[in-house]
Structure 1
């Protein structure tokens, strides 16, 4: 087992003093997280190939709105532990990390936000532990049932081809890690809506300077594809947690017409589409995302 320490340089970035950097040992791993503010707790879960920094616009704004904000590096990412083995990145294990973090924070229930992979974890967490949540918000990720159903169509399968490529041994790491992580960082350099400036891309390069970070984060895909039949058969269930879906329709990886969660599985859900946003909606429309999250959590 190795502990990620690839991003020490970003420990000096405290968002103008609004957050502290801390660690929590939960579920057999050590999770790095930033925390700030007082009030109802909001946990922000990032996706691939992000880390806590993807919420750099929302963290101070939510703190100012009266929330206690917690943004962890999920296992395998940045400063959190990177355990070896695909089985360490199964959905149930990732959900147990979130449950352990909530316990570590001394909370019974929280508001939970997830983007991309963090959104997948958030969906499964809401299905496994609805008693832990006040409200759920997901950004640019499909409900697992919608995603599994979508994979039966060529249109979604064509958008998701890379997930199956990532299941190959060694080759994905070599491709994404080549030329100073250029293959990995190209997703930010070519973002069609609001291109990421070089100084922000450099933050992601630092987080991935250790080769083990590539394998750990790709293992999310390997575990999900390997377990997809079991997940659909045994782990998808109804959740009555009030849910908000924010979806940038220019997402190149997901069909916008699948964004609404199945009503029989998520009866209390509202979906908002944005025709001028892409996959990183929290980056494309930072003020709008914060406004919607704040209003939703204030209920």
Structure 2
């Protein structure tokens, strides 16, 4: 099954995305420091199950434009990019999957644009208010964020020794080479870090409307940055169905290091017939 590459003008920037398959749309939103390629073990499985799978490079990543200013990466702009992409492609409603920053954007969309979301899967990243209220241990887990917010110093450190620090993030073989390739061009690493620099208020409780669409939260027990509590407690901010799934022996990039389990959960939650073979 072949991916079709799209370049769409939306919300004042050019957004690159791939689309694969036919049927109800599943929108996959990646996080830091990825591109749409982080979903490479989901796209063919979901498309084979009868979905159209839309996987964009978010603002600043991959082949999508990377505006130069920190405030170009505030959540309102990130949210508007996604809605603008759907509008440009004449897509009214989607099944949404978001990981890491894609999960944060997903919670925003589920709360503020529920008419566009059929069902939402949050991977790793719980509701912003659940993260804010998750306690001291959760805040210690996220102590890297102030470092990411130090212009110049963070960039220099992450690039040092052939991106040594970045290579420690995941156990997935070869994943760091994708990151190195995609973040190496001028301005791209800074654009990725600007997600943190533009949205420091995420450490505070959020005043989002309650989420009314069905939600599944998937958390992996080897995630160093995000604990189980912040995902379980996301149920407090969802009216209606909330399903929690815990995956063992997978790191933060569970769509890669536990792809078979993740694929099974996505197909089940989106009520699809499971394909005969998976990765």
Matched, 1:250 2:222: yes
Task: Specify the alignment match of 2:2 in structure 1.
Answer: 18
Matched, 1:145 2:129: yes
Matched, 1:170 2:190: no
Report the alpha carbon displacement of residue 47 of structure 1 after superposing the two structures with TM: 0.8
Deviations 1:111-135 (A, max 9, x none): 1100011001100111110010111
Q: Among 224, 234, 243, which residue is 1:270 paired with?
A: 243
Matched, 1:34 2:10: no
Task: Specify the alignment match of 1:220 in structure 2.
Answer: 195
Report the alpha carbon displacement of residue 258 of structure 1 after superposing the two structures with TM: 2.3
In structure 2, the CA distance between the partners of 1:273 and 1:227, relative to structure 1 (3 Å rule), is: closer
Deviations 1:254-291 (A, max 9, x none): 11122124444202210111222221111121111111
CA distance in 1, matches of 2:187, 2:178: 17
In structure 2, the CA distance between the partners of 1:246 and 1:264, relative to structure 1 (3 Å rule), is: closer
CA distance in 2, matches of 1:222, 1:228: 12
The answer to whether the 8 Å contact 2:222/2:252 transfers is yes
Task: Specify the alignment match of 2:76 in structure 1.
Answer: 92
CA distance in 1, matches of 2:75, 2:233: 19
CA distance in 1, matches of 2:2, 2:233: 34
Q: Secondary structure at the match of 2:50?
A: coil
Task: Specify the alignment match of 1:289 in structure 2.
Answer: 262
Given the two structures, how large is their TM-score scaled by the length of structure 2? 0.92
In structure 2, the CA distance between the partners of 1:233 and 1:46, relative to structure 1 (3 Å rule), is: closer
Q: Among 117, 124, 142, which residue is 1:133 paired with?
A: 117
Matched, 1:71 2:43: no
Report the alpha carbon displacement of residue 233 of structure 1 after superposing the two structures with TM: 4.8
Q: Among 82, 87, 91, which residue is 1:103 paired with?
A: 87
Q: Among 160, 163, 166, which residue is 2:142 paired with?
A: 160
Task: Specify the alignment match of 1:237 in structure 2.
Answer: 209
Given the two structures, how large is their TM-score scaled by the length of structure 1? 0.86
CA distance in 2, matches of 1:219, 1:233: 20
Q: Among 183, 192, 200, which residue is 1:208 paired with?
A: 183
The answer to whether the 8 Å contact 2:128/2:206 transfers is no
Q: Secondary structure at the match of 1:279?
A: coil
The answer to whether the 8 Å contact 2:36/2:57 transfers is yes
The answer to whether the 8 Å contact 1:261/1:269 transfers is no
CA distance in 2, matches of 1:249, 1:91: 27
Q: Secondary structure at the match of 1:260?
A: helix
CA distance in 2, matches of 1:182, 1:19: 32
CA distance in 2, matches of 1:62, 1:72: 16
CA distance in 1, matches of 2:58, 2:251: 23
